[in-house]
């Protein structure tokens, strides 16, 4: 087995049945105010895929209702290419078929629509019962892919996102939908090459793009991830003003690195921009072992035209999340997943607390859910290797080292996956 095939075995291996199970057993006590849906997306290939990132998307959901675990469901996202496997991602002229999608990376809700996302294609709308509605292009206004990591501004309700991957310039477009879901900003972004731009950052006044040296490799199309590390490309941050997107980006050089995920970003009172990211020294560099990510801080000084780069922790982690009500603000706490641990960073005091899982229990991304009392909850799927099964675990964010508040036992394993969200009842 090659290292690229790990996603077909063990905790990563796909499940083959779409299940519906009611009245799930619970250890502990679910808080009654925790009423809504926890949905998480991830790859679940029907046939062997060349890379973890390319498997067919499957959403796993749990419905919680006033202290009970009402149901579990898992469903593939039935995109047009799911129904027609001959529908290719790239057309003969090199352009993308934006309806060809594995829709396997994230699931978000905005303006009453729940969207399954992958960055190479248009979104696909699904219901909270995990049925696929169909491709969503903002009423015909979006003719580009949509990032799997859009940001919702908690002040305006606007949805900020970008698309990338056009073979011809401009390679990146910045988009904004208002609180009602109408696309109101479409702005080309100038970057020197076709890079893999997975995430970005949003503050109250700025948007920050990551122009990093993982570049498109046409020769690898159809043989896995068509991107590679380019030692000569350099690395830049592109800063865009939210009030004047038409003015374009201001570029600032940084040390070469790669970032899949942003923790958060905010503006400081003295006019600087602080961005917290999970940073890799490099990624997909031929002949080099890929290093783990760790928490870094970039401080952008627009007046001086500089970026100060600080490593905040050397412990590995990924899948960073905050309280989404604080997106773009100076959020004090951030949550990161390690191999057998969930870590809560106090970004104001540079300290951290941990929940360490028992041997053989491996957590996925933890989503923060506000609570009526206390500091909130963390929800996420945890794989139990010895029994090859999964639970939905609820932790007290304010007392992370304590035993779980509740553990919902699921009827099958949830394969290791990517991102999800808590969708509370309206």
φ and ψ of 267, to 5 deg: -90, 140
Other C-beta atoms closer than 10 Å to the C-beta of 425 total 10
Output the pLDDT for position 112: 97
Q: Answer yes or no: is 261 a known binding residue.
A: yes
**Domain segments of the chain: what residues?**
4-422
For the chain, percent of residues with pLDDT exceeding 70 = 97
Tell me whether residue 149 is annotated as binding.
yes
**Average pLDDT score over residue span 271-300:** 97
375 or 112: which carries more pLDDT confidence?
A: 112
Q: What is the pTM of this model?
A: 0.96
Report yes or no: 339 and 317 within 8 Å, Cβ to Cβ: no
Architecture per CATH, 4-422: 7 Propeller (2.130)
> In the predicted model, is pLDDT for residue 118 greater than 60?
yes
Give the pLDDT score at 2: 44
Q: Any idea which of 16-25, 74-83, 217-226, 345-354 has the lowest mean pLDDT?
A: 217-226
Residues in the chain: 426
Q: Which helix (H) or strand (E) holds 82?
A: helix 80-83
Question: Do the annotations mark residue 419 as ligand-binding?
Answer: yes
* Residue 171, annotated as binding a ligand: no
Q: What is the pLDDT of residue 3?
A: 46
Give the single-character DSSP code of 90: B
- For the stretch 59-91, pLDDT in tens is 999 999 999 999 999 999 999 999 998 888 777
Share the mean pLDDT of the chain: 95
Asked whether the beta carbons of 14 and 394 are under 8 A apart, the reply is no
Q: What is the pLDDT of residues 205-253, one digit of tens each?
A: 999 999 999 998 877 666 667 899 999 999 999 999 999 999 999 999 9
């Amino acid at each position: 087995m090659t290292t690229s095939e790990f996603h077909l075995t063990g905790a990563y291996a796909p499940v083959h049945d779409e299940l519906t199970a009611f009245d799930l057993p619970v250890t502990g006590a679910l808080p009654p105010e925790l009423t809504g849906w926890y949905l998480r997306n991830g790859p679940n290939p029907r046939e062997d895929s060349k890379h973890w990132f390319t498997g067919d998307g499957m959403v796993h959901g749990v419905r919680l209702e006033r202290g009970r675990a009402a149901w579990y469901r898992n469903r593939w996202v039935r995109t047009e290419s799911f129904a027609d496997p001959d529908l290719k991602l790239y057309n003969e002229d090199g352009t993308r078929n934006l309806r060809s999608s594995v829709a396997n990376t994230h699931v978000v809700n905005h303006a009453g629509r729940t969207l399954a996302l992958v960055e190479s294609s248009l979104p696909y709308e699904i219901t909270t019962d995990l049925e696929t509605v169909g491709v969503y292009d903002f009423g015909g206004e979006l003719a580009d892919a949509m990032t799997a990591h859009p940001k919702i501004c908690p002040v305006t309700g606007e949805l900020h996102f970008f698309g990338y991957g056009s073979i011809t310039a401009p390679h990146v477009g910045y988009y904004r939908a208002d609180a009602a879901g109408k696309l109101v900003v479409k702005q080309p972004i100038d970057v020197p090459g076709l890079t893999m731009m997975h995430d970005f950052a949003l503050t109250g006044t700025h948007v920050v793009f990551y122009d990093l040296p993982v570049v498109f490799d046409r020769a690898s199309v159809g043989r896995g991830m068509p991107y590679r590390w380019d030692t000569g490309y350099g690395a830049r941050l592109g800063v865009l003003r939210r009030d004047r997107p038409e003015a374009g980006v201001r570029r600032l050089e940084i040390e070469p690195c790669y970032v899949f995920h942003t923790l958060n970003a905010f503006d400081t009172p003295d006019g600087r921009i602080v961005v917290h990211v999970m940073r890799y020294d490099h990624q997909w560099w031929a002949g080099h072992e890929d290093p783990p990510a760790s928490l870094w801080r970039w401080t952008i000084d627009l007046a001086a035209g500089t970026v100060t780069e600080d490593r905040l922790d050397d412990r590995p982690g990924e899948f960073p999340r905050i309280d989404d009500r604080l997106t773009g603000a100076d959020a004090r706490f951030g949550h990161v997943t390690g191999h057998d641990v969930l870590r809560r960073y106090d970004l104001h005091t540079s300290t951290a607390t941990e929940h360490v899982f028992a041997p053989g229990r491996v957590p996925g991304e933890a989503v923060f859910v506000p609570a009526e009392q206390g500091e909130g909850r963390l929800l996420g799927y945890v794989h139990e290797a010895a029994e090859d099964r999964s639970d939905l675990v609820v932790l007290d964010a304010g007392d992370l080292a304590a035993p779980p508040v509740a553990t919902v036992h699921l009827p099958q394993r949830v394969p290791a996956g990517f991102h999800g969200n808590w969708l509370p009842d309206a």
